[in-house]
Each structure stands twice: as C-alpha cells, then as structure tokens.
Amino acid sequence: MANRSSRWKNIRMLAWERDRKAKAVCHICNQPIDYSLQPSSCELAYECDHIIPFSKRPDLELDLNNIAPSHRRCNRARCSGDLVGLGQQSRVW
C-alpha cells in the first residue's frame, strides 16, 4: 500500500490533469489559471485547494471531489484569511 505522501502526489496529479483539460478557472477568484506554469511555482500557477479544509475534515484529504483548482496566491490567501485584492470571488467563504 502506498504511503500518504505518494497518494497525495497522485491525487494532485489527477486533479491537475482534470482541471487543465477542462481549462478550469480559479474557484476562489474566478480568473484563468496559467496551466503552462509548473504547479505551485509562482503566484499565478495552479494549486490544489481543499474545498472543505483538511483541518475540518482530514478524512477528505485524498478525496478528488474535495479538490478544486486555484491560483497559488488565492489558495494561500484563503488559508490566511486575507482575500482582499484577489479579484472577484466566486463565492463567499
């Protein structure tokens, strides 16, 4: 059985492929994501975001249905609670 780290790596890869093919926008700011960038490499690059935070539902950490596309900056800002200046949000958190 694969360890947690390798399972998370596989889930991230599956989510990236799913979202890249769909040309999915950031679910936080509703703006396009540059899928030509290496994931999590810069502020505008793709990053997986847990819809229901891991801190609230650790059992959903590896559930692909709980992963949404985001920009790295949006995901990090959402985690810190600092969503000012990120563009139009797709929903209220």
Comparing CA positions, the residue from 74, 60, 93, 79 lying closest to residue 26 is 74
Structure confidence at residue 91 (pLDDT) = 57
Mean pLDDT by 10 residues, the chain (93 residues): 80 97 96 94 94 91 95 86 52 55
For position 89, what pLDDT does the model report?
52
User: Phi, psi (5° rounding) for residue 29?
Assistant: -105, -10
Give the pLDDT score at 84: 47
